[in-house]
Amino acid sequence: MAKRVGIEVSLAISEAVKLAKVDAVAAYPITPQTHIVEHLSELVAEGELDAAFIPVESEHSAMSVCAGTSAAGARTYTATSSQGLALMNEILFIIPALRLPVVMTIANRALSGPISIWNDHSDIMSVRDTGWIAIFVENGQEAFDLTLQSFKIAEDHRVLLPISVNLDGFTLSHVIEPHEFLDQDEVDRFLPEYKPAVQLNPDDPVSMGTVGVPEIYAEAKKCQDEVLKGSIKVVKEVFAEFAEMFGREYKVVETYRAEGAETLLMTMGSVSETAMEAIDKMQEAGRKVGLIRLRLWRPFPADDLRAEMGSVKTLAVIDRAVSFGGAGGPVAGEVRSALYNVDDSPYIASFIAGLGGRDITVDDFIEMVDQAEAMAKVNEIHEYKMIGVRE
Amino acid sequence: MENLNVYAAKMAPQQEFLAGGHRACQGCAELLAARLVAKTLGHDYIIANATGCLEIVTSSYPHSAWEVPWIHVAFENAAAVASGVEAAVKILQKKGKYPVDRKITILAQAGDGGTVDIGLQALSGALERGHDMIYICYDNEAYMNTGVQRSSSTPYGATTTTSPAGAADPLGQHTMKKNIVEIAAAHNIPYVATASPSYPFDLMEKVKKASETPGPAYIHCFVPCPTGWRMAPNLAVSIGRIAAESKVFPLYEVVNGEYRMTVTHKKHRPVIDYLKPQGRFRHLNEDNIAEIQQQVDKSYERLLKKVKMSSTELD
Amino acid sequence: MTKKYNEKAWHEYELGFMVSRPGCSAEYRTGDWRSQQPQTNKEKCIKCGVCYLVCPEGAIVLAADGTYDFDLEHCKGCGICATECWTGCISMVEEGE
Ligand SMILES: Cc1ncc(C[n+]2csc(CCOP(=O)(O)OP(=O)(O)O)c2C)c(N)n1
Ligand code: SF4
Ligand code: SF4
Ligand code: SF4
Ligand SMILES: [Mg+2]
């Protein structure tokens, strides 16, 4: 039976990885991800997890090792943050091209410089176009549940793409929360053994990663894109199966008190908990304000987003990363593209807040709603505004 | 050819695991060496290949020259990818989840650039972690695939497209070849060797030993490149022989830290015999050549000392 | 009719654009690169197999009588075999002569 455990979120993730019976873990330390791989190495050392634990000499090698383990047919996991993700960058592109279902936790952290160990989303936003499925979680339970579900999504033969599970560094990764853990037999029923579609095997030799001559390169990219876009169907199926088995429901786009709302705040990650407080407060004051959260960042759930825009007149999108000199925050830019040609699409305000560990308070959220509504009224043309910065 | 039974060639494994139809230049010793390595390892092995000539010429879609499982991920990470393959095969075999339960040899292969420069960190990591694998560096002494740029394995005095001999700087490469063999040996791994396809039996013997040695093995293979060395293609094998005979590229192995020459010569040829046929050294003057002779003598002496020390320790 | 590799639609390729036919590069003809081709004076050949061993193309094949033939589909005419042959019985002759 499921049991309730109070544990640090990082460790809950490691426990989920253990329950997934991974075969291989590549590990390199970086704050705030380190507790995850530390705990995994402990689980291996204690004999609780029968996996190859490969303590590599860099994140570039971590991701390269993952390419090797996954191509050889092993269920493969790694975790990183910030600079580590940046160092992996080259290999991140190659993993989905080779159709390797690696699962990676990213404890999101700001990118240097100046060097910062604190949370924002600049790491994941910088690898937006690498071709990975990217999921955001907001609390420990979600981190545990979605880590397990990620293996099932990634390894589905209609998908065979890598997934990153993103959680806010420190503000989520390092807090102790209660978690409903699942038992091994429950997990086994949900997540069967990984059956690779192809693996490096001398009795059936294949060549992986051959030269993409111009006659096929565009088809290779088109294929990758179609499979990534198509994976949303599998994501939803897996969410549904999980809900059916364990009663916890997940959606690619989630809302909070959004019925009848004329203004929506849009967030990703753990700041939504504070955002909810702000929504409660504003609704108490009689304002028609709700919250919308993107759980799935890639593939971008454009249809699901559009479906939530019913009565919405103003959308305030909060980005936790800067696209320097761009036409909007990274998320806001996507949202504007997705809604631009839609009839009666809302006014979209782009705010950047919470960089490098800067808190976003309830008052900040209220201020963003105020500003967005005022801007909407005069249809103010803008790219993006930074909030909570001394001017 | 080697001073062996003339008919020894007939004893070599006959089956090919690297097919023809690859796109290497005429007389490419890198491909010759890879073919001999493939022959030696036979059926039960998996290759992780770095970007470079060997990768490009053998895997132009829709073709592959490889008869064994082969993966190419990037330029600098062959050792890391191979580490992953090795770790995965081991754990999956242990769990009874790998389709083959025979011993599988894992081979990482890369050029000198992919090894001595950009791949050095991944190589060092893999050697230090002790993966049971063979790493072969095919050293053609420059970044050939991108058009003959210098690497830290390019020899002193060689002209390349990024160490050109010019009017103001007539030497070409100013630095001596990085001694990667010593670097590999410094990881205290059980087997390190130099090799050359000009000595095919020595090469094949070393590959066999490396595959039979548990733990990491590093083989540094000298592969003349007619295109980059500006040399007639028919000389690709004989020039490797002259390299050994002139002490430029001695053939030895380091087994558990003990040095041993595997090919010796009663008399050595002067380096000029080695330099002369190659266009990349054509600009050198007598002083340069004397300097190279001195360098070669000195490093050979140093090597002999290690060999001598090893044999006394064995006594 | 099976489509050629450059005619297929994006969904008609193998997973990850891998190549699953081992050694299929042999289909590719490199013999056209040659300007000279090797010829053996089989009278002088001592059947040692050295030429076979040193060909980068693997384009030298054992014949029934113990001598070696050239696979002219793949031989690039590098001349290594001729240079390395012990007895000097291989000569390089101009292509088409
Ligand atoms: C990260 C990265 N940097 C640079 C390159 C370009 N590149 C591809 S192959 C190559 C040279 C390979 O040289 P070497 O490893 O010596 O192999 P060779 O081609 O000489 O056999 C270079 C510079 C690359 N593919 N990736
Ligand atoms: S450039 Fe040199 S190493 Fe590369 S294929 Fe040609 S001969 Fe071989
Ligand atoms: S000429 Fe070169 S390619 Fe042709 S058979 Fe002789 S060695 Fe092989
Ligand atoms: S090397 Fe010369 S002698 Fe030996 S088998 Fe070949 S052709 Fe005959
Ligand atoms: Mg090179």
Burial per residue of A193-221, b for 16 or more beta-carbon CB atoms within 10 angstroms, e otherwise: ebebebbbbbeebbbbbbbbeeebeebbe
What residue owns the CA closest to ligand 1's atom 11?
B143
Cα–Cα distance between B109 and B82 in angstroms, integer? 9
Q: Does domain A255-386 have CATH number 3.20.20.70?
A: no
pLDDT, tens digit, 9 for 90 and up, residues B100-142: 999 999 999 999 999 999 999 999 999 999 999 999 999 999 9
Task: Please report the beta strands in chain B, taking only residues with DSSP state E, as ranges in sequence order.
Answer: 45-49, 70-72, 105-111, 134-139, 191-195, 217-222, 252-255, 258-261
Asked if residues A63 and A27 have their Cβ atoms less than 8 Å apart, the reply is no
Give every strand in the sheet of A76-80, ordered side by side. Answer: A52-55, A24-27, A76-80, A103-108, A163-168, A133-136, A296-298
Domain locations in chain C as residue ranges: 31-94
pLDDT in tens, A89-124: 999 999 999 999 999 999 999 999 999 999 999 999
The answer for B6, left when phi > 0, alpha when psi is -120 to 50, beta otherwise, is alpha
Q: How far is C73 from chain A (nearest CA, A)?
A: 23
Q: Which of A368, A365, A376, A381 is nearest to A312 (CA)?
A: A376
Q: What is the pLDDT of residue B10?
A: 81
Cβ–ligand 4 contact at C70 (below 6 Å): no
Residue ranges matching CATH 3.40.50.970 in chain A:
3-246
Residues A44-73: tens digit of each pLDDT: 999 999 999 999 999 999 999 999 999 999
User: What are the tens digits of pLDDT across the range A176-227?
Assistant: 999 999 999 999 999 999 999 999 999 999 999 999 999 999 999 999 999 9
pLDDT of residue B313: 56
Q: Which fold has domain A3-246?
A: Rossmann fold (3.40.50)
Distance from C-alpha of B36 to C-alpha of B13, rounded to nearest angstrom: 9
Residue A245 predicted with pLDDT over 80: yes
Q: What is the pLDDT of residue B3?
A: 47
Per-residue pLDDT band for C96 (boundaries 50, 70, 90) equals confident
Nearest Cβ partner of C23 from B29, B66, B197?
B66
How far from chain centre, in Å, is Cα A346? 25
Report pTM: 0.97
Mean pLDDT within B30-58:
98
Contact C49 B12 (CB under 8 A): yes
Distance (Å, rounded) from C-alpha A378 to C-alpha A327? 19
Using DSSP bridges, classify how beta strands A253-256 and A289-294 pair: parallel, antiparallel or unpaired. antiparallel
**C31-94 architecture in CATH?**
2-Layer Sandwich (3.30)
**pLDDT tens, residue by residue, C2-39:** 899 999 999 999 999 999 999 999 999 999 999 999 99
* Pick from A251, A148, A185: nearest CA to A2: A185
Q: What is the mean pLDDT of chain A?
A: 97
CB environment B93-110: b (16+ within 10 A), e (fewer): beeebbeeeeebbbbbbb
**Whether the Cβ atoms of residue C36 and residue C77 lie closer than 8 Å to each other:** yes
Average pLDDT, chain B: 96
Does residue C75 contact residue C31 with C-beta atoms inside 8 Å? yes
Neighbors of chain A by Cβ distance (3+ pairs < 8 Å): B, C
| Residue C85 pLDDT level (bands cut at 50, 70, 90) | very high
Q: Give pLDDT, residue B7.
A: 65
CB spacing of B10 vs C79 below 8 angstroms: no
Of C85 and B1, more confident: C85
The candidate with the shortest Cα–Cα distance to C65, out of C82, C40, C92, C29, is C40
Say which CATH architecture domain B28-314 belongs to.
3-Layer(aba) Sandwich (3.40)
Cα–Cα–Cα angle for C49, B136, B293, nearest 5°? 85
Cβ–ligand 4 distance for C68 under 6 Å, the answer: yes
Nearest C-alpha to atom 8 of ligand 2 is from which residue?
A: B28
Domain locations in chain B? 28-314
pLDDT of residue A1 exceeding 90, the answer is no
pLDDT at A58: 98
**What would the pLDDT profile of B207-259 be if each residue is shown by its tens digit?**
999 999 999 999 999 999 999 999 999 999 999 999 999 999 999 999 999 99
Task: Tell me what ipTM this predicted complex has.
Answer: 0.97
Q: What share of chain A in percent tops pLDDT 90? A: 99
Contact A342/C at CB under 8 A? no
Q: Do C58 and B237 touch (CB under 8 A)?
A: no
Asked whether the beta carbons of residue B19 and residue C52 sit closer than 8 angstroms, the reply is no
pLDDT tens digits along A141-166: 999 999 999 999 999 999 999 999 99
Q: How far is the CA of C34 from the centre of ligand 3 (A)?
A: 10
Interface membership of A223 toward C (CB under 8 Å) = yes
Residue of chain C whose alpha carbon sits nearest to that of A227 = C11
Instruction: Look at residue A335 and tell me whether its pLDDT is greater than 80.
Output: yes
With a cut of 90, say whether residue B69 has pLDDT above it: yes
Query: Per-residue pLDDT for A368 more than 60?
Result: yes
